[in-house]
Amino acid sequence: MIRYIRPLSYLLPLLIIQACATQPQRAKPYHPPSTTQQSETRKTTIPPVSPTSTPTVQNIQAQATQLSNRGLFAAAAQTLERGLRIAPKNASLWSQLAAVRLQQQQYGQAQSMAQKSNTLAGANAPLIQKNNSIIIEAQKQQR
């Protein structure tokens, strides 16, 4: 057993040096979509990734979008809630979660989350417009 420890003690510093030598990944620049496609069904589109988001939040939003597009709304909601624990003041995450809650037919939550997103959106007019459409749709469905 001891004869295996000595070779491993030489290998460990090399692994640490190698891990420190890797370069961090850079975030890709944000390019707003040129056109948005409206589905003929009553699906709510998920807002694009915010240009001010961190790469971690962008990853979370991309994962949630994929899950939501596959109809896995519960998993998408869990992913977005994890993102909100990381960035609780990210208006885009709140809006995306509101859209998922609307898909889950949780209209009260969808409405309150869209309102929360509006309070954090500042002057982001497209996001506010998106949130207002979620609020209107949730109100229609509650009647």
Question: What pLDDT digit, counting tens, does each position of 21-64 carry?
Answer: 555 556 566 566 654 444 434 454 544 444 457 899 999 999 99
Better-scored residue on pLDDT, 135 or 11: 135
The pTM is what? 0.64
- Indicate the helix (H) or strand (E) that contains 113: helix 107-121
Sign of CA dihedral 54, 60, 82, 97: positive
- Please name each of the domains of the chain with its CATH number: 55-142 (1.25.40.10)
Cβ(92)–Cβ(61) under 8 Å? yes
Residue 53: Cβ within 10 Å count: 19
Alpha-carbon separation of residue 4 from 1, 9, 99 (angstroms): 6, 9, 56
